[in-house]
Amino acid sequence: MEIEWCEECCGPCECYDPDAPEPEPQGLELKGEALVAYLDSRTDQQRQELAGPWPVRWLYPRREGEPKRGINVCGGCGGGCAGLRLVLGVELDMICVDTSKDATATARAAGCNAMHMDARDVDPRHPALRYTSFAVYTMPCPDYSVAGKREGLKPENINILCDVMADVSEAFGNVWRTGGAHGDVTTVEFGQDSGISIKEMWGWLGEDGMGGKTAGLMLAPVLVTIGLLRSGAPLEGVLIEQAWTLPEKIREAIGMELIVAGWPLAHWDILDAGDFGSPSTRRRAIMVGSRDRTLGTVEAPGITTWASDAIGWDPETWINTRGVRKTSGGNEFKMGRTMPGVTSKIRGWYDADDPEHRFTIEEVCLLVGLPADFPVVGSRTSQCQQLGDIFSPLVSAVVWAILLGIDWVPRLRRYLAERYPQVHGWAAYAEAA
């Protein structure tokens, strides 16, 4: 008999029998009621250790009637969840993870289940994630935005990321084969998981992570999604939000891995929050992917909110954004319009005729589509950073509605009427409904 490595003996021996039946599953390898019985037999401390850092309830199979589970990687201060809960009125058992302690605290204060965690520490093989139904990726954009360092836009970094996406997918066993006279592509079941650690997979991006703090994080949508699918998670939908300048090659690479995994119903679009009633613009590349739902196209309803109407300022007020510096794009804009996208720099913007007249945090919340009393945590600088990085709750609501098959226009109009009654009051809502 060929000598094999024996797990029981912790070394090479002759007891290995390749034809022997697989051992009966034990512990977390169990399924259904057997898993429930096993978990119930553990102590509270043991269950917490098995689940950590995730909630114990996520170790258990989801029962009928319970909210479906979702994970939002780089969830920030909870804008994506706000769109789901506040605009659509839908409750999911969603957990947002983010590296910012202040953003995590804000999300918690706003009613989200939020955890302070690096995206690179999310392990899709963790048993607490195997009942995940939705995966959302609202990734930071500095390395892809034209206003950032643009590390993610460099051709060499685009190639690195796309190559690593393919390698990670293959490591999880997401492969396909060609067949037929014309080489038609057919999907196949997942192959064997290589067992390569998540940390090692992230290391494939290189020691400097593609040279930027955030560029390499776009690996997460492939690493976590394919890892969850490989682990048997009942994923129904995937959402991705990123700067509208995200290279087409990266978008195609993500879509390709989903196609290989049997998810042909995924498409990208460029959406601007200003087209959906936001008082400020926010143009983003959005991907909506579904396991089995045919996704409709997104058509803006033609709702406009001027910044001045949103917060009660004079529409003739000019806002200075750069002090005395002059740039090709200008350094002032008038409030009587849908204002330029809010960034962290709004902490220093002011009324050009009255430098002491600046935006309050409550006003900034309204300008990005949130309630004025949204509980933003931290210093003014941190609060403005969080609101400048937000996934617009208005766009979030629209893409969630498309994924879930919800008629979103009346719900959006209702929400806008609540936020900005002076321009989208109940009379306007009733007429639209």
Which two three-digit tokens encode residue 326?
């002059």
CA–CA gap between residue 321 and residue 304 (Å, rounded) = 23
Whole-number pLDDT of residue 328 = 55
Residues in the chain: 433
Q: Could you list the beta-strand ranges (E) of 255-353.
A: 265-272, 283-290, 318-320, 332-334, 350-351
Q: What are the tens digits of pLDDT across the range 190-216? A: 888 999 999 999 999 998 888 888 999
Q: What are the tens digits of pLDDT across the range 279-297? A: 999 999 999 999 877 776 7
Q: What is the DSSP letter of 60?
A: S
Q: What are the tens digits of pLDDT across the range 151-161? A: 999 999 999 99
Q: DSSP secondary structure string, 389-420?
A: S---HHHHHHHHHHHHT---HHHHHHHHHHH-
Scanning 124-177, the segments in alpha helix (DSSP H) are 155-171
- Percent residues over pLDDT 90 in the chain: 76
CA–CA gap between residue 267 and residue 264 (Å, rounded) = 9
Q: Quick check: 129 and 225 in contact, CB under 8 A?
A: no
**Domains of the chain as residue ranges with CATH:** 1-61 (no CATH), 62-290 (3.40.50.150)
Which two three-digit tokens encode residue 201?
């997979």
Q: Quick check: 240 and 207 in contact, CB under 8 A?
A: no
What average pLDDT does the chain have? 89
Mean pLDDT of 268-274: 95
Q: Quick check: 388 and 343 in contact, CB under 8 A?
A: yes
Within 13 A of 225's CA, how many CA atoms are on the CB side? Answer: 31
Mean pLDDT of 17-43: 81
Mean pLDDT of 414-431: 79
Q: Quick check: 339 and 328 in contact, CB under 8 A?
A: no
Q: What are the tens digits of pLDDT across the range 360-396? A: 999 999 999 999 999 999 999 999 999 999 999 999 9
Q: What is the DSSP letter of 62?
A: P
Task: Give the pTM.
Answer: 0.89
Mean pLDDT of 45-58: 96
Q: Quick check: 398 and 387 in contact, CB under 8 A?
A: no
Q: What are the tens digits of pLDDT across the range 90-148? A: 999 999 999 999 999 999 999 999 999 999 999 999 999 999 999 999 999 999 987 77
